[in-house]
Structure 1
Amino acid sequence: MAEVDSDSQSEDRPPIYEFEDQQLLDLVEELSRSNATIKAETEVFERYFSRIDPKDLLPQPLAEQPLLGLSAQEFSQFRGRRKSKSRSMTAERLVRLTVEQKCDVAQRELEEMRDALERLKEGSERVLSNCKATIEESEIRMCELKKASYEFDRDIGRSMLERKGVMMGAEKVIRYIEDKSRTKDTLIEKLRLKKAALKVQKRKLQMQLKQKEEMGEALHEVDFQQLKIENSQYLEKIDERNQDLLRLKLLAGNTLQVLNTYKKKLQNMTSESNNLTSELLSRKEMLMKIAAETIQVEEERSKAETVNKRLRGQLSDYQVPNVLEYVTGKASHSDLEQSVHIWERKVEISEMALKTHMQTWNKLKMANGKALDWPQLAILPQRQ
């Protein structure tokens, strides 16, 4: 396409000596872009033809020829047409590719580049996996060495440090090394058995893979086309299921939001119900207290009414004495109080005399050394 455009443009253009400087610069820039495009196409074609089997270059029927009118000799001329500038326009037109053929070549080259990138990616992943495995193995070995060093210091080194100046028996060290060696041998045997089992499993998987490949070689292109059709149908069904799944996920998300909202409302209502229940219980207790206080107040009121009635009755029956009687009673009351005071004073004097006589009597008892019976005396009434 680039050559056709350049040829048509070169036929329509005037001679170069008639161009101005700016036109010459534009022409040089355009030719540079065209040369870069042709160079890229040439590199793509060379990579493509370098991978083609020479048998594919033999003449084929017209319906099956990928390159229209292109024989083996013309193909060799096509590869060297950039080097030979003296080839005629008729021969060049015979070896030119159509747009469909160029698209096919570019598509195949793109697929090849994708395959190469995929292979490079797989190789890089293998290298990365190997590096990760090496790092993990190194870390495991480092942990094992640290553990072995710690155990040796714990079992042997610490006792050697504690017993300075005393020769450590070589038998203990040899026994320790032999125990560790037996442990390593046991671990090696286990790993060997595991490796053998993995090899057997690998061999079985390789045989199964080989059988599947042999069975796949017996398949025809019609079967592959049928498989492609079924694959496309299944992909459509998978897309439909994915759409349904997405719709169900959205519905489930909305339902979950509504459920969370109702859960929050239920939690709020439950807390409010608990608060109301506790408040109702407190109100009931308050009502019971009020009822008990009401009963108590009623009883006190009835008692107060009874006392009030009795006092009112006494007040209604009360008669005030005469003044002379009141004065006489008051005088007799004062005389009685004075007589009581006098008698209390006499009792105090008698008690003091009794105490004095008791002390004298006790002294006489101590002096005679005999137990004398004191006559029974009447206990005088004491003053309150």
Structure 2
Amino acid sequence: MLQTHHRSSISQHSRSVSQFMNEADELSDAELVKQVNDIKQQIRVLALENEIFEKTIMRLDPTLMHGIQQALEFAAKMQSGSSLNINSFVKSTSKLGMESVTSPSRMLTSPSKVSARRVDSSAKFSGTVTIGTGPRINVLERSELVSVEMEILINTLERARYKAAKQHALLKAQLEEIDLREVEIKKACEMFEKEVIIDGWDKIAQRIPAEIWIRFMTEWVKIIDAQIGKLRLRTSTLNTQYSKLKGQIRVKAELSESLRPVDFDKLKIENNECAEIIDTKIVQLAELKKMTGDANLNLTIHKKLMMEQNSYLTNVLKTIKLKQKQTKELDKERDVIRVQADSLAQRLDDVKKVRLAYEVPDVMDYVNIKSEVTDLKNSIKVLENRVHIQQIALASLNRKLTLMLMS
């Protein structure tokens, strides 16, 4: 019977494919593209549903997954149109199909938690079974499967986050410890090189004495012991603080669990007292705001007066600076005038001296000197004429010489 149903399903699939091809021939390009996109979206949704369904089956009963791979291979062969061995596939999957038909509620019922909602959904689920087609899952059951898988994934993610945070803190602490060890080792190496190798070298014996090495190691061990003591004290202090905080948290948890109505009444009374105090403080705050407003008004008035005084003071300072500048310029002019007056006074004295020492010469001497000057001027003119004549003669001789050389 199952074989006949599988054959009928295969024939229905082939008919649906041929019908889809005929409809695709009648569709336009835009409609065909839209239909292809819709089919792709449906394929993605079905793939996601199959993944969730597979995870649910593997979580509840992994034995139900036997034969699924053969079913997938059979579907691939059926789509490729190759020859099918239906009898072998039916024999390998009949057991799985009967189990899934007879017990569909196993896929929706958790072994650790069973709810009435899932029982109802499993009843609905079992009611949708038809011969040859297998069970179908409605929307409510799908949403329930998705919510369960999401809860499982969220819990797994939270556990992974907690574990990762813990591992991160551990690795960070280890890195800090390694850094501290590296710093301490470097300090110890530098100290050893300075105090033992460099300062402890004996130039006479050409070696490092053992006493220096022993003394260095003793001091270094003392320093390390002191640091270890400090670290132990700090660790004990931190442990004590941790214990106190843990105890406080435990006490608070116990108090929160052992609350009584009297405690709420007490809190209500305390809240009323606090409300009265707040009202009083609000009244005082209003009075202080009023006083602050008056003070701000007085402050604004005095600020305005102070600004006027500052502007007047600024003008006075500018005037003083201008007068000082003018005074400096007048001082410079006074010095210049004083120098000029001194030079003019000196010239006046010289003129007075020349005037006092001047004597009027004799008239005949003046006439003789004048005649001599006239004779000299005439002699100069005669000599200039001679020079001019000589230059003309020289020029003519040069021309003749040039002509002779050219000929």
More helix by proportion, 1 or 2?
A: 2
TM-score bracket relative to the smaller structure:
0.3 to 0.5
Q: TM-score, normalised by structure 2?
A: 0.40
Report the structure number with the largest CA radius of gyration: 1
